[in-house]
Amino acid sequence: MNRIVMGDVACAMGAIDAGLRFYAGYPITPSSEIAETLSEMLPKHQGIYLQMEDEIGSIMAVIGASYAGFPAMTATSGPGFSLMQEAIGYAAMAEIPITIVNVMRAGPSTGLATQIGEGDLMQAIWGTHGDHPVAVFSPGNVREFYIYTQKALYWAEKLRMPTIVLADEVVGHMRQNVDFPEPIVIPERTLPNVPPEKYLPYATENGDVMPLPPLGKGYTWHVTGSAHTENGFPTIRPDKVKELLDRLNTKVQRHRNELIEYETFMLEDAETLVISFASMGRVSKGVVSELREQGYKVGLIRPFTMWPFFKDELSNIVSNVHPKKIVVPEINYGQLRLLVEWALKGFDIPVIGVNLVNGDLIPPEMIEEAILHG
């Protein structure tokens, strides 16, 4: 059915359709409509909605609910996302599946409370301290917000780690007509094939961490943010610590091919390659489409998975297409450009940033100027 839906509402609908059972949050523009919608929908879908006293309480409640067996998420924006960083690391270390939706506004600090920014990319990937696994997805329109909220919830459960959806104010507040695809459903927790007394919550199974059993079926275990052995109790034994951290930090790479998603548009014979994410990906696609109509050789890549970064794929595309330059429009001072430069460090191709942070989308004319004369 074709209907008009706001981005934040699509995120909430996606979560419900995926099987979300618990949301705790503290409202903040431009993410508040996610909380508002879930406060109405969750109780009608055997779920629990909880408004907490702040963002730290919110993410801790989400971790607790997930530990208890409820697929759980929270949503916030920059200032709240900063507050949640420590707990993201806890979820990564304790291997509790959680999803955090960050509808980006312009920062730093309170910044522009109601207006767009795309400056949380690096924080989403590297925000919590210590090396840790995380997957970051970024939608560029209402339909994609529905889809990538579901994928984030799916992968959090599958890999027992935090996943992040990085939308922005325009994606969150935009209303547009949309036709939703079949939902991606969060995998159900299953009983381990060993009795409770033999269960090791941090052992590996087929290379991945053990699936979490549902709580209340006799399986209990110790949970800690400290380094621990397979049974969950703290350890400082170097070999055990190494084993744990090696396993945590190869989680994402082991599944990179399934996690990485991006869209390519008019790449053939492109002399200029535009790479852009979130709302600016959508705007850039329009610019590329218009310039192609005028005969300019320009193509576009819109990454949906920001981490793991599509390093090898980008490198292959550039080897095949041979662009003369790369243009990266983003509403920050060059965070995606840094990742692109890292991915293409072996190539001698200029990477030109189109950067403007003033509360609005970057105008198409600025991108066009960089493509034609940058």
Partner 1 sequence: MAMRREVYIVGSGGQGVVLMGALLAEAYALKNWNVVQTVVYDAAQRGGLARAEVVMSDSEIYYPKVRKADVIVAFAADALPGARPKMDEHTVILADESLKDKNLEQYGTKLLFVPFERWAKEELHSSRVMNMVALGRVLKTLGDVSIDEVEQALKERFKGDLFKLNMAAVKIGLEASEF
Q: What does the binding site for partner 1 look like in residue numbers (CB under 8 A)? A: 2-4, 29, 113-115, 170, 173-177, 279, 282-283, 285-287, 289, 359-361, 364
Q: List, in order, residues 6 or more apart from 151 with CB less than 8 Å away.
A: 137, 184, 261
Q: Least distance from C-beta 33 to partner 1, angstroms?
A: 11
Least separation in angstroms between residue 291's CB and partner 1 is: 12
CA dihedral angle for residue 153, residue 156, residue 159, residue 164, rounded to 10 degrees:
120
Q: How far is the CB of 113 from partner 1 (least distance, A)?
A: 5
Q: Give me the least distance between CB of 256 and partner 1, in Å please.
A: 29
DSSP-based three-state secondary structure for 163? strand
92 Cβ neighbours under 8 A, 6+ residues apart:
128, 132, 133, 134, 161, 162, 248
- Please name which of 125, 167, 162, 163 lies closest in space to residue 145, comparing C-alpha atoms: 167
Amino acid at 47: G
First to last CA, the chain: 43
Q: In terms of CB distance, is 18 or 287 closer to partner 1?
A: 287
For partner 1, give the closer residue by CB, 364 or 374.
364
Q: Name the residue nearer to partner 1 (CB basis): 334 or 359.
A: 359
Kindly state the smallest distance separating residue 152's Cβ from partner 1, in Å.
23
Name the residue nearer to partner 1 (CB basis): 16 or 287.
Answer: 287
**Among residues 372, 374, 310, 298, which one has the least CA distance to residue 340?**
310
* Beta carbon nearer to partner 1, 209 or 298: 298
Residue 198 is given by DSSP the state G
Say whether 255 sits in a helix, a strand or coil: coil
Can you tell me the distance from the alpha carbon of 308 to that of 250, in angstroms, rounded to the nearest whole number? 11
CB–CB of 230/199 below 8 Å?
no
User: Which of 7/97 has CB closer to partner 1?
Assistant: 7
Tell me what percent of the chain is helix, strand and coil, each rounded to the nearest 5.
40, 20, 35
Query: For residues 234 and 286, which CB has a smaller minimum distance to partner 1 in the complex?
Result: 286
Cis peptide before 364 (omega within 30 of 0): no
Residue in the block written with tokens 């595309």: 317
Amino acid at 220: T
CB of 316 to partner 1, least distance (A): 26
Nearer to partner 1, 105 or 251 (CB): 105
Instruction: Please report how close the Cβ of residue 276 comes to partner 1 at its closest, in angstroms.
Output: 11
